[in-house]
Amino acid sequence: MHHTEHTTQMSYQVGAFALIHHQGGYLITRPVHPLQPGAQGLPGLILNAEPGSNPVELHLRRVIREQMKLVVSDLRLVGSYVARGTQGGHGDARLHLIFGTEYSAGILDPDPAQFTVAEWIPGTELLEPGGAPEWLQGAVREYELVSPAPEPAAAAPRSRLGFMRRR
């Protein structure tokens, strides 16, 4: 039985990225060494640690703090897509997970060694045709579906259907 040979041939990387929302905008970065396809990226990391050693969310929180000096609220999975990995010259599949979250504290201060640009871009701008890569638009749409509308709705019962309204 040579099972071990097969498992080592296909390295399968997982990337975790944060779609950070703040006052109608999202934190979009331009990394020095992009981990995602396209010029626009999100703060995040490629998980090289053994799965199970630490929840993805903990790694991602730490990285957001290190990369951007920001603290965020709960992380919710809002998208995933498969990209070809290029890290270390391997052409293997890489699964990218996008977690939506709200900004909660900190002053945006991107690490200049890792990012040339990091700025808040209005969601409406990202969703315009050609405004962002497809994977990013999909994550923004999903995040906006599962997030309560910002206006206070004291009388309305909290049902998920209320968030499906199209403007």
- Taking residue 95's Cβ as centre, other Cβ atoms within 10 Å add up to 15
Top pLDDT among 59 and 163 is at 59
> What is the average pLDDT value for the chain, to the nearest integer?
81
Digit-coded pLDDT (tens) for 17-53: 999 999 999 999 998 888 887 778 999 998 875 656 6
Phi-psi region of 54 (alpha: psi -120 to 50; beta: other; left: phi over 0): beta
Confidence at residue 100, expressed as pLDDT on a 0 to 100 scale = 97
Distances in Å between the Cα of 122 and the Cα atoms of 32, 69, 100, 110, 131 are 22, 20, 15, 19, 11
Which amino acid is located at 56 in the chain?
Answer: V
State the pLDDT confidence band at 148, using cuts at 50, 70 and 90. low
Strands 13-22 and 44-47: antiparallel
State the pLDDT confidence band at 6, using cuts at 50, 70 and 90. very low
- Taking residue 17's Cβ as centre, other Cβ atoms within 10 Å add up to 25
pTM: 0.76
Digit-coded pLDDT (tens) for 56-92: 889 999 999 999 999 999 999 999 998 875 555 555 7
